[in-house]
Structure 1
Amino acid sequence: MPLSQQRRFPGRHASVGASRVFVTDVLSEWDLHSLIEDITLCVSELTTNALRHGTPPGRAFRVGLHQNGDAVRLEVRDSGPGQPVIRHTGLDTCSGRGLHIVNALADSFGVDDHVVGKTVWLTFKAPAPPHAR
């Protein structure tokens, strides 16, 4: 049976930490403890990008988690224009590595455009339930 939870967060820096707590709580509830570290890091990167580049002042962003079979999908939707771009950075660059990390941790990565805004999504292979091992 597919599972799904989502939450809206105000466009404030404190929402990055709140989104990590949300993801940790949901994955714990779903007994997907082995995915918490990777997905929490990814939600932190994606929500930071949403705040910096995609959430206009006074607007919110949404974080969603969906489990269907052996896949977990993380979504971060904002109302801003533009697409995230994986940049090539130098060794002495202080930023611009977040999407490289996200792309390395996730099994797939993409962006869905909307009339207003976009959804950046990642999928992760969920571990087999204990009774199926």
Structure 2
Amino acid sequence: MEVPHHATGTRLARHRLADELAEAVPAALLADLVAVLAELVGNAVRHADPLPGGVVRVAWRLRPTPVGPSVSIRVTDGGAVARPLMRVASADAIDGRGLHIVSGLSSRWGVDRDGLGQSVWAEFDPVTASPTALVAAG
């Protein structure tokens, strides 16, 4: 889906993901997916250029496995001068923790860049899902 390169894009993406996956994944995993998606879209809006048309592209894929669902999320924007990196945030900083949240909740994450922009992705494996997801599932 495409959402506006604006704060409302984050809300639209969160709601759509929650609506589409609510019956397909455990509630705790859904909460982690929504949190990570919000961070990735929010980062795209704050730190990157939009794609043509003033949008950010958001995608997710659900893959059933014998031990539970595997989910991947991808947010594509027009790119930025600096590659997305985890920052060290002081205790009183008001930002700088987003990719730490992404790293903590997902199994892995990364950045793909091409001549048109960049995609930041996160994957959630059923066995290595966040501790909250494992507690709820177990």
Pairwise same-fold verdict (TM > 0.5): yes
Which residue, out of 11, 22, 25, partners 1:28? 22
Corresponding residue to 1:66 among 56, 61, 75:
61
Q: CA deviation at 1:33?
A: 3.2
Which segment drifts farther, 35-44 or 80-89?
Answer: 80-89
**Equivalent pair of 1:27/1:33 in contact (CA under 8 Å):** no
Find the aligned partners of 1:67 and 1:56 in 2 and give their Cα distance: 26
> How many angstroms apart in 2 are the aligned matches of 1:56 and 1:43?
17
Q: When the two structures are superposed, what TM-score results if normalisation uses the length of structure 1?
A: 0.82
Cα RMSD, aligned residues only: 2.0
Q: Distance in 2 between matches of 1:38 and 1:114?
A: 28
1:109 is matched with which residue?
109
Check conservation: 1:61, 1:77, Cα contact below 8 A.
yes
Q: Distance in 2 between matches of 1:21 and 1:9?
A: 12
* Residue 39 (structure 2) aligns with: 45
1:15 aligned residue:
9
**How much does 1:11 deviate?**
1.2
Could you tell me the TM-score, scaled by structure 2's length?
0.79
Q: Aligned partners of 1:102, 1:17: CA distance in 2, in Å?
A: 17
Partners of 1:46 and 1:69 lie apart in 2 by 23
- Aligned equivalent of 1:75: 74
How far apart, CA to CA, are the structure 2 residues paired with 1:84 and 1:36? 24
- Matched residue pairs, number? 121
Q: Could you list the runs of 5+ residues in structure 1 that have no partner in the other structure?
A: 1-6, 128-133
**C-alpha distance in 2 between matches for 1:123 and 1:108:** 6
Q: Can you list the C-alpha shifts for 1:45-95, whole angstroms capped at 9, x where unaligned?
A: 111100011134952001101123442101111012331110011111111
For residue 10 of structure 1, report the CA deviation from its aligned partner. 1.3
User: Partners of 1:69 and 1:56 in 2: how far apart?
Assistant: 32
How far off its partner does 1:100 sit? 0.5
Whether the 8 Å contact between 2:50 and 2:56 is mirrored in structure 1 is no
Identity of aligned residues (%): 32
* Kept after mapping to 2: 8 A contact 1:46/1:76: yes
User: 1:2-36, CA deviations, whole angstroms, 9 ceiling, x for partnerless residues?
Assistant: xxxxx00111211111110011012125x113321
